[in-house]
Amino acid sequence: MENILSSVRRWENTFVEGHATASPTVADGIVYLSLQDGSLEALRASNGALLWRDLPPTPLAESSPIVADRAVYVSALDGSVYALRASDGYMLWRTALHVPNVLPPSLLVKDGVMYVEALNGSDYVLRTSDGSILWRYQDGEGGVASLTVAQGLVYLALQTGNIDALRASDGFVLWRYTPQVPATQLPPLVADDLVLIALQDGSIDALRTSNSTLLWHRAMTS
């Protein structure tokens, strides 16, 4: 058994400053780990060697790092968002959103834009190149539970059970859908011209992406 285990295990890492608090992120041969002390480590995936370690001024939130376009994006406990150079951990920018307790998983990066969820019900949209805020969405009825970005639109599952569709470029609200049964907090699924919404009774509503017209409803079967 020992021989089998030694042949399978390629490397292991012993955390000096604490254990990992979220699932690792692997990209381009590097493993990124958020640690209990609020720091971020980058390890070479092939042998576990430490490439760099960063301890930002404010400890990082307990969420998995996001890697895109040769940068690592992380959120801090004070609501700040950091962008670090993936190769060496050099800080590219920091944006203070002044909203503590960013929700993990709180970051989504797509097409050069970052979407950040916060506990006060706000969604911030930042430019990944410099961290500048493009627009902000504030829902006054309980906040955003999850989001999906597809085909130039942002679909928000609200904690009230409604669904909002926003234009990704500027955050303009195109429509709001209120189902007969409140929607779950799962992110909507977008396919072609359909938005699929999971409802709390187990059924599904299929909407037209352009105007939220209900195309069909699939009831729960016993």
Q: Is the pLDDT of residue 104 over 80?
A: no
pLDDT at 77: 80
pLDDT tens-digit series, residues 124-137:
999 999 999 999 98
The answer to whether residues 101 and 33 belong to one domain is yes
Q: In what order do the strands lie in the sheet with 81-85?
A: 66-68, 71-75, 81-85, 91-95
Element (H, E) at 149: strand 144-150
Confidence of residue 138 (pLDDT cuts 50, 70, 90): confident
Pairing of strands 214-218, 40-44: unpaired
Contact 186, 198 (CB under 8 A): yes
Tokens at 216, concatenated: 């069909």
Residue 191: partners with Cβ closer than 8 Å, 6 or more residues away? none
Q: What is the mean pLDDT of residues 44-48?
A: 93
The answer to whether residues 49 and 147 belong to one domain is no
pLDDT at 22: 67
pLDDT at 174: 96
Q: Is the pLDDT of residue 61 over 50?
A: yes
Query: Residue 157 maps to which CATH number?
Result: 2.40.10.480
Where among 138, 155, 170 does a domain terminate?
138
pLDDT at 97: 84
The answer to whether residues 125 and 188 belong to one domain is no
pTM of this structure = 0.79
The answer to whether residues 62 and 93 belong to one domain is yes
Name the nearest CA neighbour of 74 among 121, 49, 38, 37.
38
Residue 219: partners with Cβ closer than 8 Å, 6 or more residues away? 203
pLDDT at 76: 84
Which has the minimum average pLDDT: 4-13, 59-68, 103-112, 144-153?
Answer: 4-13
Q: Residue 54 — φ and ψ, nearest 5°?
A: -125, 130
Where among 112, 138, 164 does a domain terminate?
138
What is the extent of the structural domain holding 204?
143-222
Q: What is the mean pLDDT of residues 204-209?
A: 97
Overall domain count for the chain: 2
Q: Is the pLDDT of residue 197 over 90?
A: yes
Name the nearest CA neighbour of 158 among 171, 172, 145.
145
The answer to whether residues 11 and 87 belong to one domain is yes
CA distance 52 to 199: 44
pLDDT at 57: 78
Where among 97, 116, 138 does a domain terminate?
138
Confidence of residue 53 (pLDDT cuts 50, 70, 90): very high
Q: Is the pLDDT of residue 139 over 80?
A: no
Report which DSSP code applies to 76.
B
